[in-house]
Chains A and B, each alone.
Chain A
Amino acid sequence: AQSVAQPEDQVNVAEGNPLTVKCTYSVSGNPYLFWYVQYPNRGLQFLLKYITGDNLVKGSYGFEAEFNKSQTSFHLKKPSALVSDSALYFCAVRANDYKLSFGAGTTVTVRA
């Protein structure tokens, strides 16, 4: 079964420091991978995706993610975190033609 794992429940960083949110995946075949962000009392917002092509994917709000096939990882990164980046982040994989399989989520807190 296609699945993703987010090994960290929480990530805490200082504003201006690099931010990394980890995600590993388990799929058969080529993975379609996604990152979403959820702010309090809001829906999920799409950040970026990897379908094929360059392993470094750039997305919204200065985020990027690196697809690593050998390590089966798709970590989300931001070079310089902002307090406004504090939110819940979800990694997801397309499990089949209709289903997104989500990780449990990682809460990011950026302190001023």
Chain B
Amino acid sequence: DAGITQSPRYKITETGRQVTLMCHQTWSHSYMFWYRQDLGHGLRLIYYSAAADITDKGEVPDGYVVSRSKTENFPLTLESATRSQTSVYFCASSESFRKGYEQYFGPGTRLTVT
């Protein structure tokens, strides 16, 4: 089906391990985003990408790495997971956010770091 998908949907990992969360969209949207959702903090932007090979930091980038070699994929890597990175992670995409197009969100990945 067309749209935006995330994998895995649920992940449990141990402190110090590297974890990669995948995001794939079929619309060929230029913009892609990673957010985390936490009680008391709402949704916070981690990284964003305006196009393939163009990425930049959001509000809370520390401990995360992104890449975007292809327009449709935007993986998020936790290089050495910490308990504070336990959260629900959402990927989003937008045709042209700069021009006011809305963002479309994936179903989320619930990550638990033990």
Chain A residues within 8 Å of B, Cβ to Cβ: 32, 34, 36, 41-46, 49, 51, 90, 94, 97-100, 102-105
Contacts and interface: CB of A to CB of B under 8 A. Distances in A.
Closest 7 CB pairs of A and B: A43-B105, A44-B105, A51-B100, A97-B98, A102-B43, A43-B107, A98-B48
B interface, how many residues as a size bin? Answer: 20 to 34
A46 B100 CA distance: 13
Interface of B: 31, 33, 42-43, 45, 48, 50, 56, 58-59, 90, 92, 97-98, 100, 102-108
A77 B15 CA distance: 44
Contacts of A34: 102-103
Report whether over half of chain B's contact residues are helix, strand or loop; otherwise say mixed.
Answer: strand
A71 to B, nearest CB: 22
A44 B36 CA distance: 12
20 contacts: A32-B100, A41-B108, A42-B107, A42-B108, A43-B107, A43-B108, A44-B92, A46-B102, A46-B103, A46-B105, A49-B100, A51-B100, A90-B42, A90-B43, A97-B97, A97-B98, A98-B56, A99-B45, A99-B48, A104-B42
A42 B106 CA distance: 8
A40 to B, nearest CB: 11
A32 B98 CA distance: 10
A105 B56 CA distance: 26
A98 B97 CA distance: 7
